[in-house]
């Protein structure tokens, strides 16, 4: 209800064409934070072999007789990507981005650590130190600290009610449960109440920083959302609740608050051990709003999309064979999604050996042939202009073998 109220409120601006041309004049001047990164984490291990399915591999449907996607052109078939891989049909909203070469995938990628525990694997993906449990901070926090430019609380932003591991650390980071609620004045905007709690929390050794960061981010977001540009940017039909809605608001917020540079969103519900379905069903129902949200994000970022890279990743993949219950169990390698104006898209990157029995890791799942950190490091280096020293801080002890491909342009 609140979301809708907000949409109505911001929808009152004048009608403007939405598209690259419309926004050329308002593109922000080059600054230290104008290159953006958005990370979307799919918690629960999405079944990458049904996201970017090797429909051209003769083994694929043998391994997945009931959940496998049919070949492109068939009823409920995958959407052809490159004649060998096919995209899940529930992700049709991403097809224009693929066609425009703004979307790429890295298959058989992931963490080199062999764990099939969701929780350890997510932890490693967020700390970017696979196999090491005592890393105190998340890599996005180290990244924001290592990038040039002034630190501000909203430079590193999470959407969700809690602050995830990936954002934790010494640098300031804030979370918004959802962008809509952040736009409302709150109790602490009342001067007397504010003064009282400001004093209680001022320089408090344990909670002072979280309190101050929260207030600073709140002011920034309020300011950004009051601007006229935001009102025009969010013009459009109301979106379904959930990710598409949050994505639209995040895009608007990033366009209006140039201080926001790195953003993180986590989505759950991918642990499909039973009845995951094929072209339709549980997995399809989760993928559809994700694809729609990513498309909305790209559209509403407008000119900023050219300066943004969006990465979608998940802690590990799932078994190549479907299990006895029309689902899949915990696996290893997965597919990463990379989207953005300067992404060298329209291509599935990464070494690929097929899904023949002899090529499967431990006889059950995809091997990890591309370390997820090598993709993230390349984006940090080529897109965010992170220097060598910073690279070592953000991705410590990373194996020397960097990705053998270039997925993002300068």
Partner 1 sequence: MTVNLEPDMTHRASLALLAAFLMATCAASAADSASAPDVQALHVLNRLAYGPRPGDVERVANMGVQRWIDQQLHPETIPLPPDLDARLASLDTVNRSAGASLAEFLELRREVRMEDEGAKQRRREAQMRVARQAAEARLLRAVESPRKLEEVMVDFWYNHFNVFAGKGIDRALVTSYERDAIRPYALGSFRALLGATAKHPAMLFYLDNVVSSAPRTDAKRKARGLNENYARELMELHTLGADGGYTQRDVTELARMLTGWTFDEKRLARTGETFRFDAGRHDRGAKTWLGREIAPSGQQEGETALDVLAVHPATAHHVSRELAQYFVSDEPPPGLVDRMAATWQASQGDIRAVLATLFASREFMDAGSVGAKFKTPYQYVVSAVRASGVPVANVGPLVNTMSQLGMPLYGCQTPDGYKNTQDAWLNPDALTRRIAFASALAGGRLPLGVVPVEARPAEMTPYLAGSDVMPLPPPPPLAAPKPVPLDAARLQATLAGSVSPRTLGIVQRNPDNLRAAMLLGSPDFMQR
List residues near partner 1 by CB under 8 A: 43-44, 66, 115-120, 153, 160-163, 165, 168, 174-177, 186-188, 192-193, 196-197, 199-201, 204, 206-207, 210-211, 213-215, 217-218, 268-269, 271, 273-274, 323-327, 329-330, 362
Cβ count near 99 (within 10 Å): 11
Q: How far is the CB of 64 from partner 1 (least distance, A)?
A: 11
Separation of alpha carbons 105 and 401, rounded Å: 19
Residue 35 vs 321, nearer CB to partner 1 = 321
Q: Which phi and psi (to 5°) does residue 309 adopt?
A: -120, 135
Q: How far is the CB of 359 from partner 1 (least distance, A)?
A: 18
Separation of alpha carbons 11 and 248, rounded Å: 13
Nearest to 229, CA basis, from 13, 3, 9, 7: 13
- 160, 175 contact by CB (below 8 A): yes
Nearest to 52, CA basis, from 114, 98, 1: 98
Residue 204 vs 228, nearer CB to partner 1 = 204
Q: How far is the CB of 295 from partner 1 (least distance, A)?
A: 25
Residue 175 vs 308, nearer CB to partner 1 = 175
Cβ count near 226 (within 10 Å): 12
Q: How far is the CB of 213 from partner 1 (least distance, A)?
A: 4
Separation of alpha carbons 313 and 42, rounded Å: 6
Residue 120 vs 392, nearer CB to partner 1 = 120
**DSSP code of 405?**
S
Q: How far is the CB of 47 from partner 1 (least distance, A)?
A: 14
Residue 117 vs 280, nearer CB to partner 1 = 117
Separation of alpha carbons 49 and 68, rounded Å: 9
Query: Cα dist. 36→32, 73, 221 in Å?
Result: 10, 37, 17
Residue 130 vs 327, nearer CB to partner 1 = 327
Q: How far is the CB of 403 from partner 1 (least distance, A)?
A: 27
């Amino acid at each position: 209800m609140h979301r809708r109220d907000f949409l109505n409120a911001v929808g009152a601006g004048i009608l403007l064409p939405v598209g690259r041309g419309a926004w050329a004049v308002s593109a922000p001047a080059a600054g230290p934070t104008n290159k953006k990164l958005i990370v979307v984490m799919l918690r629960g291990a999405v079944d990458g072999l049904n996201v970017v399915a090797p429909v051209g591999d003769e083994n694929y449907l043998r391994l997945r007789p009931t959940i496998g996607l049919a070949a492109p052109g068939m009823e409920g078939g995958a959407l052809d990507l490159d004649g060998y891989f096919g995209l899940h049909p529930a992700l049709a909203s991403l097809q224009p981005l693929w066609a425009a070469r703004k979307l790429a995938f890295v298959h058989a990628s992931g963490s080199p650590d062999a764990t099939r525990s969701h929780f350890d694997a997510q932890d490693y993906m967020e700390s970017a130190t696979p196999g090491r449990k005592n890393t105190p901070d998340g890599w996005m926090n180290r990244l924001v600290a290592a990038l040039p430019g002034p630190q501000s609380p909203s430079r590193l932003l999470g959407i969700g009610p809690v602050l995830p591991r990936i954002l934790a650390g010494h640098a300031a980071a804030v979370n918004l449960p959802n962008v809509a609620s952040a736009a409302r004045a709150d109790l602490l905007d009342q001067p007397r109440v504010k003064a009282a709690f400001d004093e209680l929390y001022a320089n408090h050794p344990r909670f002072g920083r979280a309190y101050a960061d929260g207030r600073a981010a709140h002011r920034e977001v309020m300011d950004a959302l009051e601007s006229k540009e935001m009102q025009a940017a969010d013009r459009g039909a109301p979106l379904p609740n959930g990710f598409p809605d949050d994505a639209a608001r995040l895009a608007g917020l990033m366009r209006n608050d140039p201080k926001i540079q790195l953003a993180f969103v986590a989505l759950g519900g991918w642990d499909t051990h039973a009845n995951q379905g094929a072209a339709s069903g549980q997995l399809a129902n989760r993928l559809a709003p994700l694809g729609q949200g990513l498309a909305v994000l790209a559209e509403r970022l407008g000119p900023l999309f050219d300066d943004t890279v969006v990465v979608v990743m998940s802690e590990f993949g799932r078994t190549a064979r479907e299990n006895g219950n029309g689902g899949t169990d915990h696996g290893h390698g997965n597919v990463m999604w990379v989207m953005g104006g300067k992404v060298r898209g329209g291509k599935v990157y990464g070494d690929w050996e097929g899904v023949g029995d002899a090529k499967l890791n431990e006889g059950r799942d995809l091997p990890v042939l591309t370390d997820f950190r090598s993709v993230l490091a390349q984006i940090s280096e080529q897109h965010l202009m992170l220097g060598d020293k910073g690279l070592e801080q953000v991705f410590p002890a990373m194996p020397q073998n960097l990705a053998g491909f270039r997925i993002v342009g300068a």
